[in-house]
């Protein structure tokens, strides 16, 4: 009887070792962690997606003018900057548009960064670029 008990204990010990070995293999076979660079890229993408895009669209709609045509809008959510390029019929229209953007609470530090007359166009519109601080959380 004592021999059977010892034999049973040895089998139980072997089974326990086998089970622990399987668990170790399963644990080590799991997918490795995400590399730091990839995790940073994913976090930046999530930050971009979580920006209040609707608010920005509303600002652009609210400041729309028949005297200014938007050519490009490039938001940089990571740096909280909005880049806009546009054309205006004249300098007064350009400056009015700039002032309208400056009055928007979601934008700050709205700055004219470039402007030029488009000589090739018979109407000679004023092409300009500006950047603004995007104050959204």
State how far the Cα of 42 lies from the Cα of 79, in Å rounded to an integer: 16
pLDDT value for 60: 87
pLDDT value for 41: 79
For residue 25, what is the enclosing H or E element? helix 2-28
Residue range 85-103: mean pLDDT, rounded: 96
Q: Across-strand partners of 105?
A: none
Dump pLDDT digits (tens) for 100-110. Answer: 999 999 899 99
- Residue 40 predicted with pLDDT over 90: no
- Residue 31 predicted with pLDDT over 60: no
State how far the Cα of 127 lies from the Cα of 120, in Å rounded to an integer: 12
Q: Where are the domains of the chain?
A: 2-44, 52-134
pLDDT value for 16: 67
3-state secondary structure 39-93: HHHHHHHHHHHCCCHHHHHHHHHHCCECCEEEEEEEEECCCCEEEEEEEECCHHH
Domain 52-134 matching CATH 3.40.50.150: the answer reads no
Measured torsion, CA atoms of residues 69, 74, 77, 79, in degrees rounded to the nearest 10:
-110
């Amino acid at each position: 009887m004592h021999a059977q008990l010892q034999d049973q204990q040895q089998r139980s010990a072997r089974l326990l070792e086998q089970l622990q070995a399987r668990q170790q293999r399963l644990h080590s076979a799991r997918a490795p962690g995400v590399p730091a660079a990839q995790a940073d890229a994913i976090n930046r993408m999530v930050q971009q997606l979580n920006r209040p895009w609707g608010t920005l669209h509303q600002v652009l709609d609210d400041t729309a003018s028949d005297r200014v045509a938007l050519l490009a809008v490039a938001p940089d959510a990571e740096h909280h900057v909005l880049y806009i390029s546009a054309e205006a019929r004249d300098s007064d229209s350009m400056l009015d548009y700039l002032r309208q953007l400056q009055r928007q609470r979601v934008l700050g530090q709205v700055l004219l960064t470039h402007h030029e007359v488009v000589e090739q166009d018979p109407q000679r519109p004023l092409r300009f670029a500006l950047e603004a601080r995007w104050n959204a959380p």
